[in-house]
């Protein structure tokens, strides 16, 4: 259960802003963001370009929670505060920027019904702030990107009637090339199921990572390993294997550490490949934002 202090932050927003560089770090992901001491706002203040919210459908309502639902809905923790922030400031961030925030909605209950409830919620109350694909398969940039992970109802999503508000988080190496980057801008692998319980990759393991990166880059997708070490030594291996800085997304629970690491490595708003992958991120150019 989330405490009263967190509730106050959900209402009034923002912790102290440490992101003085005004950079959105699309190479970072806030894993299980709702478990942060201050959900949502910590990630925004650190400029983390992707956050994760686990959803349980209970009696037609979407609640946040990992193994079991909490008493806080996705609207209360995320969607309403973001809507208010965008309406008040014209930005997701603590500075003037048109760059979007990725939200990975991890469906914990039945995929088809949970997704339908989320789709209906976005369509009914939040369509102005989510990117979408129209009937002509044209992608329209907005403030938030919806990405479905967990129990993904892939066929239902592929063949639903437009608009399409959500894409999928691909979970298999063999399907990196199956879906285009708009339907699947990200691939997420369980690190330990591939590499075991290791802190540093050996030569053969690093070669496999490089193959994953090359395949992802070829199809304009990002790549994340969850359950992976959160050390500078391991992050160095991933970032060096990436090279062009347009594939790897670091999975993190310590958001200040990943912010500081990427800032030290020279990541900024123009060198993360966002000019090529608008389905994941965007450079700060006003004409890319959809206003309705």
Compute the average pLDDT of residues 173-189: 92
Residues 6+ apart with CB under 8 A from 291: none
Ranked by mean pLDDT, the top range of 6-15, 66-75, 171-180 is 66-75
pLDDT (0 to 100) of residue 12? 45
- Angstrom CA distances, 239 to 28, 232, 243, 251, 267, stand at 11, 10, 6, 12, 11
**Cα torsion 97, 40, 140, 189: sign:** positive
Residues 6+ apart with CB under 8 A from 116: 156
Q: Where residue 1 falls among pLDDT bands split at 50, 70, 90?
A: very low
Both tokens assigned to 15:
């912790």
Residue corresponding to tokens 């990436």:
242
Long-range contacts of 130-138 (CB under 8 A, 24+ apart): 130/165, 131/100, 131/165, 131/279, 131/290, 132/162, 132/163, 132/164, 132/165, 133/162, 133/163, 133/164, 133/182, 134/162, 134/163, 135/162, 135/163
Q: State how far the Cα of 200 lies from the Cα of 218, in Å rounded to an integer.
A: 26
> Of 51, 100, 26, 82, nearest to 289 (Cα)?
100
- Whether the full predicted model's pTM is greater than 0.75, yes or no, is yes
Contact 138, 162 (CB under 8 A): no
Q: What percent of the chain has pLDDT over 90?
A: 80
Residue 164 has pLDDT above 60, yes or no: yes
Residue corresponding to tokens 């914990």:
108
Q: State how far the Cα of 168 lies from the Cα of 188, in Å rounded to an integer.
A: 10
What angle, rounded to 10 degrees, do the helices at 232-242 and 255-264 form?
A: 50
Q: State how far the Cα of 125 lies from the Cα of 114, in Å rounded to an integer.
A: 17
> Of 172, 121, 174, 177, nearest to 149 (Cα)?
172
Residue 120 has pLDDT above 80, yes or no: yes
Coarse DSSP helix, strand, coil percentages of the chain, rounded to the nearest 5 percent: 35, 20, 45
The DSSP bridge partners found for residue 149 are: 106
pLDDT (0 to 100) of residue 206? 98
DSSP annotation string for 199-223 = SS--HHHHHHHHHHHHHHHHTT-EE
Q: State how far the Cα of 35 lies from the Cα of 116, in Å rounded to an integer.
A: 25
pLDDT (0 to 100) of residue 11? 45
Mean of the per-residue pLDDT values for the chain?
91
pLDDT (0 to 100) of residue 156? 95
Compute the average pLDDT of residues 142-151: 97
């Amino acid at each position: 259960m989330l405490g009263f202090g967190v509730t106050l932050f959900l209402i009034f927003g923002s912790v102290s802003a440490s992101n003085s560089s005004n950079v959105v770090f699309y190479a970072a992901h806030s894993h299980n963001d709702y478990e942060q001491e201050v959900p949502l706002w910590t990630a925004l203040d650190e400029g983390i370009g992707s956050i994760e919210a686990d959803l349980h459908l209970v009696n037609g309502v979407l609640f946040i929670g990992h193994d079991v639902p909490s008493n806080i809905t996705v609207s209360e923790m995320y969607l309403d505060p973001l809507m208010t922030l965008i309406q008040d400031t014209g930005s997701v961030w603590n500075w003037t920027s048109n760059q979007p925030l990725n939200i990975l909605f991890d469906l914990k209950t039945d995929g088809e019904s949970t997704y339908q409830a989320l789709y209906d919620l976005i369509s009914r109350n939040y369509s102005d702030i989510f990117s979408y694909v129209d009937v002509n398969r044209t992608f329209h940039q907005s403030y938030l990107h919806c990405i479905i992970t967990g129990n993904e109802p892939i066929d239902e999503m592929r063949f639903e009637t437009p608009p399409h508000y959500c894409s999928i988080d691909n979970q298999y190496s063999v399907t990196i090339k199956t879906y285009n980057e708009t339907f699947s801008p990200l691939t997420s692998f369980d690190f330990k199921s591939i590499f075991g319980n290791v802190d540093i990759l050996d030569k053969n393991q690093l070669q496999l990572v490089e193959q994953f990166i090359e395949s992802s880059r070829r199809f304009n997708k990002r790549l994340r390993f969850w359950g992976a070490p959160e050390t500078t030594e391991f992050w160095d291996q991933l970032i060096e294997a990436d090279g062009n800085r347009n594939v790897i997304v670091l999975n993190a629970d310590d958001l200040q550490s990943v912010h500081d690491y990427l800032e030290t490595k020279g990541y900024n708003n123009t060198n993360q490949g966002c000019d090529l992958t608008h389905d994941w991120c965007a450079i700060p150019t006003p004409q890319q934002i959809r206003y309705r």
